[in-house]
Amino acid sequence: MIDWKNGQPYSLRFGDAYYSADSGLEERRHVFLHGNRLHERFAALKAGESLSIGETGFGTGLNFLCAWQLFERVAPPGASLDFLGIEKFPLDDDDMAAALRLWPELQGLAKELISRWKRRVPGWNRWHFAAGRVRLTLALCDVTEALREMPCGVDAWFLDGFASALNPEMWAEPVLGDIGRLSNPGATLATYTCAGRVRRALGDAGFSMERTEGLGCKREMLRGCKPGTRAQQVSPSSVLVIGAGLAGCTVASALAQRGMTVTLADAAPALASGASGNPRGILHARLGGGMNALHRFVLASYGHALALFDEVQPADGVSRAECGLLQLAIPGGEEKRIAKLAALPWPAHLLRAVDAGEASALVGMPMDHGGVWFPAGGWVVPPQLCASLVDHARIVQHMGMLVSDLIPTANGWRAETGDGRMVEAERVVVCCGHRARALSQFAQLPLTAVRGQISLLAATAASEELRAVVCAGGYCAPALAGRHVVGATHLLNDDSLDVRPADHAENLAMLAAHVPAMRRALGEPDVTRLPGRAGVRCSVPGAMPLVAEMSPGLYCSLAHGTRGLLTAGLSAEVIAAQMHGQMPPLPKTLLDALQAPLISSRSRMKTWG
């Protein structure tokens, strides 16, 4: 809980100030930036290199902004910064904005942080700033859990978790031991805390510690250094991305942002011609009360997708709408899941339980049931999103190119087509859904084709009342240019693209069962003449996508099922981070879960062998 004391943020829970009233930014810069020698370390980076900072106690983000500001001033073009902030008690939007208003010098950067802040979700978050040069990974959980799940080491630490006497948990020996374990060779740390116990524990964790002069109110501070020097990974410069749907376009964008030359190839003549080609996609985060690995990945993906869309496809009501989304609690079906989900302590900006009355008022149409309301949910036009993502000088599109073989070479990979063309690249990322099975390296994977058909229905005066997306088994979106999208069927092992009247009837029957008022509002369309679209999604058992390095230099982002709009962007970050030796955007457990289909198929291959 945050309080305000003499106009400064103060924690009632811990009885301590977030920062001292009169010291100003110079004191923070002295302790955290100077204490970690960041000026010289940022300036010494080369293009393609990165430096990572971990902070225990992200608080108002002030230290992050100071580090970002310095990085922008002194780091060379092409270098990047990873900042991992750990925070158990995130400030609400108003407190965050009020706290950062105290620092006029940082207003430009603060505004950007605040605009992302409203996208935060419990657990792990990943946002980009400065055209991708600065990556913020926020672990909104207890420090112990965040450190246990941290997937990589860091180069510099800001230890800023209130006074050790007031918040001993943050300075407990196992926490400080983990900080030692999670430090790269040559890592440094800095903190205001000078307690002997902390200093000794950090010494035991492998740091050479020194007590030095503070600045302003704090007369002393601690700094520490681990022996060694971290070798920077050499970044590859060229990549071939196969598949120009959401998975491929997000990967292409993430890699171009990191300075790579990207060839984006697809057998189809245009971007987003497969499952990502529907005229509208629904931003539907389906979570569960148990919050298993899939749910936690979906949640992190949802926050990431919203922030990414804010950057590349702002909600303008034409290419994207943030109209809100209702998941209906249908008795005998979704009711139990939704009751369990709604019982968890969610921040109100993310989701909340609503009864039938409130649900009706929110969506603009009578609902028979309540459910959960996602205020930031809505729809996106996926082909436009794909086009915006790959509108980059370093991305070259090769549409109409069907890659039939991938052959390892001395420098990476050669992709060959049936008609004698080829592309060479240091790295390859396969993002072509179920069609990946045609490549020998993917033939053994349990990739399943799942046909889905949507129906496009002419809006009526009554149906135009629908203001938000409603989901219950299927979904229905508000009218855009006189049409509603209603979907979608789900048929395993069928990859044909014909539009079927029976599938339209199924979509309408689903709507009639769950949202009868909307079904009535649409009148009696003739299903034999209805427009629609069929696409083929790809899934693997367990429903988690497959995001992995298959063999050296060959990666994939596959099996996003019906969730690609949500999960493709974060998956692209996983691949980009792995390829460049940067900080992954997810905790260890989820990174492992993204490779699980690969591991299980390999062990099956072994057993069969």
Q: Which residues bind ligand SAM (CB under 6 A)?
A: 18, 55, 57-63, 86-89, 142-143, 160-162, 167, 169-170
Tell me the closest approach of the beta carbon of residue 88 to ligand SAM, in angstroms. 3
**Concatenated DSSP letters of 79-125:** -EEEEEEE-SSPPPHHHHHHHHTT-GGGHHHHHHHHHHHTT--SEEE
Tell me the closest approach of the beta carbon of residue 225 to ligand SAM, in angstroms. 21
∠ Cα 542 546 550 (to 5°): 135
Nearer to ligand SAM, 136 or 423 (CB): 136
Nearer to ligand SAM, 160 or 322 (CB): 160
Tell me the closest approach of the beta carbon of residue 142 to ligand SAM, in angstroms. 5
Tell me the closest approach of the beta carbon of residue 303 to ligand SAM, in angstroms. 18
Phi, psi at 257, each rounded to 5°: -60, -30
Amino acid (one-letter) located at 279:
P
Tell me the closest approach of the beta carbon of residue 295 to ligand SAM, in angstroms. 22
Q: How far apart are CA 223 and CA 207, in angstroms?
A: 9
Nearer to ligand SAM, 55 or 426 (CB): 55
Tell me the closest approach of the beta carbon of residue 35 to ligand SAM, in angstroms. 13
Long-range contacts of residues 231-236, Cβ cutoff 8 Å, at least 24 apart: 232/46, 232/48, 232/49, 232/50, 232/581, 233/580, 233/581, 234/48, 235/48, 235/49, 235/259, 235/260, 235/579, 235/580, 235/581, 236/260, 236/412, 236/426, 236/427, 236/553, 236/579, 236/580
Tell me the closest approach of the beta carbon of residue 114 to ligand SAM, in angstroms. 13
Q: How far apart are CA 591 and CA 587, in angstroms?
A: 6
- The residues with which 53 forms a beta bridge, in sequence order, are 83, 156
Nearer to ligand SAM, 36 or 60 (CB): 60
| Tokens at 464, concatenated | 């135009």
Nearer to ligand SAM, 157 or 379 (CB): 157
Q: How far apart are CA 53 and CA 154, in angstroms?
A: 6
Tell me the closest approach of the beta carbon of residue 190 to ligand SAM, in angstroms. 12
Beta strands at 261-266 and 238-242: parallel, antiparallel or unpaired = parallel
Cβ atoms 35, 29 nearer than 8 A = no
Nearer to ligand SAM, 169 or 592 (CB): 169
**Concatenated DSSP letters of 384-452:** HHHHHHT-STTEEEEET--EEEEEE-SSSEEEEETTS-EEEESEEEE--GGGGGGSGGGTTS--EEEEE
Q: How far apart are CA 521 and CA 348, in angstroms?
A: 31
- Other CB atoms closer than 10 Å to residue 528's CB: what's the count? 9
Nearer to ligand SAM, 53 or 570 (CB): 53
Nearer to ligand SAM, 31 or 389 (CB): 31
| Tokens at 453, concatenated | 């058909």
Nearer to ligand SAM, 163 or 315 (CB): 163
Cβ atoms 340, 446 nearer than 8 A = no
3 state SS of 261:
strand
Q: How far apart are CA 561 and CA 246, in angstroms?
A: 12
Nearer to ligand SAM, 48 or 59 (CB): 59
Tell me the closest approach of the beta carbon of residue 154 to ligand SAM, in angstroms. 15
Q: How far apart are CA 557 and CA 538, in angstroms?
A: 11
Nearer to ligand SAM, 60 or 183 (CB): 60
Tell me the closest approach of the beta carbon of residue 501 to ligand SAM, in angstroms. 56
Contacts of 171 (CB under 8 A, 6+ apart): 159, 161, 164, 193, 195, 197, 198, 201
- DSSP strand E in 479-596: where? 483-487, 491-492, 532-539, 546-551, 554-558
Nearer to ligand SAM, 142 or 405 (CB): 142
Nearer to ligand SAM, 88 or 451 (CB): 88
Tell me the closest approach of the beta carbon of residue 12 to ligand SAM, in angstroms. 11
Nearer to ligand SAM, 12 or 599 (CB): 12
Tell me the closest approach of the beta carbon of residue 146 to ligand SAM, in angstroms. 7
Quickly list H helices, 258-393: 293-312, 335-342, 356-363, 382-389
Tell me the closest approach of the beta carbon of residue 581 to ligand SAM, in angstroms. 26
Tell me the closest approach of the beta carbon of residue 67 to ligand SAM, in angstroms. 10
Phi, psi at 268, each rounded to 5°: -75, 160
Over the range 537-571, which residues count as b (16 or more CB within 10 Å of their CB) and which as e?
Answer: bbbbeebbbbbbbbeebbbbbbbbbbbbbbbbbbb
Nearer to ligand SAM, 28 or 226 (CB): 28
Tell me the closest approach of the beta carbon of residue 86 to ligand SAM, in angstroms. 5
